[in-house]
Structure 1
Amino acid sequence: MELKISSRSRDVAVVTVSGEIDLYTAPRLRSGLIGALDDGARRLVVDMSRTEFCDSTGISVLLSAMKRSRGKGGDVELVAPKAAVRKVLEVTGLDEVFTIHRDLDALPVAAGTGNAP
């Protein structure tokens, strides 16, 4: 799994994940998300447009990052999850927990949280 982290502003980190998130790759995702929070981001935007698969381990990493982010007054938002990932989110009810954006252009640019139009 490729993991790219870039920053849009001081409080927002955009994490792009490609490939599969599973038991073997989830620790890399965890490190990237926690690292972004430790570097000062409060709001994590996870671009999942190139993520083909996400198992329960990956979901657990996302939820853990959300808890940590919310503790700092931020949130975790997902961008463009593919059908297989969206199905996991829907089955678990997490599509109602995470803010999900259709693409990066739909993101509010202000640091903080919010839903896409």
Structure 2
Amino acid sequence: MNLSVKLTAVERDTAVVTLDGELDVSNLALLDAVLLPLPGRGVRNLVVDAARLRFCDVCGWRTLESTDDILAASGGSLAIASPPPELRRLAEMMRELSSPADLPIKMYDSVDHALEETSGDLSRPYR
């Protein structure tokens, strides 16, 4: 399955990752290669633009959760913007399987809204 991953810096500690295609176990290495170095580069807040994500399996979702946990350890977070209905449903199913202590990944209707909520008042909007 094909996946395109585009990283855009928004602020010094904030970035947007745009996913296009299908996220599953066969292409997790690509996503890991983009996401895992981000905390070491000072990124604390990450917005995943999922508007063009056509599929995500459980392994893909767990990678997003794992990234959220890493960012949370440094006071940041991961948010998902423009999730398709299938991704919202997967998130609900995974939430039912999680322990009550696990905080769900926040989802927003747009990248701009996610950036406002996760980073505060940004001086330049994402485009």
Give the TM-score range, shorter chain.
0.7 to 0.9
Q: Distance in 2 between matches of 1:26 and 1:101?
A: 23
> Is residue 41 from structure 1 mapped to residue 43 from structure 2 by the alignment?
yes
In the other structure, the counterpart of 1:20 is 22
1:25 alignment partner, SS class:
helix
In the other structure, the counterpart of 2:106 is 99
Alignment of 1:1-117 (within 5 A): 1-93=3-95, 97-107=104-114, 108=116, 111=119
Q: Distance in 2 between matches of 1:81 and 1:109?
A: 16
How much has 1:38 moved relative to structure 2? 2.2
Q: Calculate the TM-score normalised by the size of structure 2.
A: 0.80
How much has 1:37 moved relative to structure 2? 2.1
Q: Which runs of 5+ in 1 are unaligned?
A: 113-117
* Contact 1:33/1:44 (<8 A) preserved: no
Q: Which runs of 5+ in 2 are unaligned?
A: 97-102, 121-127
Q: Distance in 2 between matches of 1:105 and 1:13?
A: 12
Which whole-Å deviations, capped at 9, do the CAs of 1:4-62 have from their partners, x for residues lacking one?
Answer: 00111001011000101001111111221112222210011111111011101101111
One-letter amino acid of the counterpart of residue 35, structure 2: L
* Contact 2:77/2:118 (<8 A) preserved: no
Distance 1:8 1:90, change over 3 A: same
In the other structure, the counterpart of 1:115 is none
**RMSD (Å), alpha carbons:** 1.7
Question: Which entry has the higher C-alpha Rg, 1 or 2?
Answer: 2
Q: Which moved more, 1:67-76 or 1:33-42?
A: 33-42
Q: Distance in 2 between matches of 1:57 and 1:20?
A: 12
Aligned length: 111
How much has 1:110 moved relative to structure 2? 6.6
Distance 1:41 1:52, change over 3 A: same
List 4+ stretches of structure 1 deviating above 6 A: none
